């Protein structure tokens, strides 16, 4: 993933100081090229520690890898043909482009496998934290119309209790834009040991959680290519929320086969 794609995935989890780092780099990307982290911090009037925290948050192994990513963007930058478009156009175009990419992804096999498991398992848990909990909730409500009851698990305390009580009769469906190891590594590791089937739906193709399950769905992320140094990014959870409806539709189709 390039830097813009990473920001699209991690944007909503960035702190104010981490956003300040990215905005400073965005406004003057050449200020980091061939510079040490101390020199870059001085150029951007931020602390070296804040740069290190930002680099770690967006998934780079270290400052050098981040600096090279900025250099790649600088060397490959092109004029933005959409600069004369309205903000509404840019937002809608970002989502349309993402959905266009998604419709071409071949995932019939895993989706029909997922809905078969939803049908066959008596205990189905949809997991999501924060805004991503909306995706888990949407799947719950969508399945009501198909006469299938599943339950949303929406906070870390409930996830901890679920981890200790679940057994092989459970089916887990995890919604996570970032594929957060902090939130889900423990429960997914336990699920693997207990032989509990788990589906991970994420936008982070580099998440280490992907190694903990054979059943994974990686969705495209959404970002707006701003040419005015503004930081704001549209929320990827819109795609994740919509995907809950996709699952429900596949479930209905599978029932009528």
Which ranges of the chain have pLDDT less than 70?
Answer: 76-83, 223-234
The DSSP 8-state label assigned to residue 220 in this structure reads: P
Residue 16, pLDDT score: 87
Residue 150, pLDDT score: 97
125/251 same-domain check: yes
142/225 same-domain check: yes
Whichever domain contains 180, its CATH number is 3.40.50.10490
Residue 53, pLDDT score: 93
Does residue 141 form part of some domain? yes
Q: How far is CA 156 from the centre of its chain?
A: 18
Q: Which residues are within 8 A (CB) of 163 and not within 5 positions of it... i.e. 6 or more apart? A: 186, 187, 190
Q: How far apart are CA 197 and CA 5, in angstroms?
A: 29
Residue 226, pLDDT score: 57
> pTM of the predicted model, to two decimals?
0.78
117/36 same-domain check: no
Residue 220, pLDDT score: 86
Does residue 203 form part of some domain? yes
176/245 same-domain check: yes
18/111 same-domain check: no
The residue segments making up the domain with residue 10 are 3-76
57/133 same-domain check: no
Exposed/middle/buried for residue 34 (C-beta within 10 Å: 0-12, 13-18, 19+): exposed
Residue 227, pLDDT score: 55
Exposed/middle/buried for residue 62 (C-beta within 10 Å: 0-12, 13-18, 19+): exposed
Q: Which of 59, 76, 93 is the last residue of a domain?
A: 76
Tokens coding 232? 């704001």
Residue 232, pLDDT score: 57
């Amino acid at each position: 993933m390039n830097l813009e794609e990473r920001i699209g995935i991690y944007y909503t989890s960035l702190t104010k100081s981490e956003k300040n780092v990215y905005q400073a780099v965005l406004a003057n990307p050449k200020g980091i090229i061939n510079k040490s982290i101390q020199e870059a911090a001085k150029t951007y009037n931020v602390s070296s520690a804040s740069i290190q925290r930002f680099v770690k948050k967006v998934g780079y192994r270290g400052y050098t890898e981040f600096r090279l990513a900025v250099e790649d963007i600088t060397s490959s930058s092109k004029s933005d043909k959409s600069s004369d478009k309205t903000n509404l156009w840019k937002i809608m175009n970002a989502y349309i482009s993402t959905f266009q990419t998604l419709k071409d992804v071949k995932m019939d096999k895993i989706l029909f496998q997922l809905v078969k498991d939803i049908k066959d398992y008596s205990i189905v848990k949809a997991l999501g934290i924060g805004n991503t909990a909306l995706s888990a909730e949407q799947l719950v409500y969508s399945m009501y119309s198909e006469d299938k009851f599943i339950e949303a698990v929406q906070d870390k305390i409930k996830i901890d209790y679920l981890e200790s009580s679940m057994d092989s009769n459970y089916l887990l469906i995890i919604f996570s834009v970032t594929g957060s190891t902090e939130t889900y590594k423990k429960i997914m590791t336990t699920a693997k040991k207990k032989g509990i089937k788990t589906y991970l739906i994420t936008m982070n193709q580099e998440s280490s959680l992907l190694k903990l399950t054979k059943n994974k769905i990686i969705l495209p992320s959404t970002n707006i290519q701003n040419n005015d140094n503004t930081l704001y990014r549209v929320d990827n959870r819109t795609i994740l929320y919509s995907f809950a409806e996709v699952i429900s539709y596949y479930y209905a189709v599978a029932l009528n086969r």
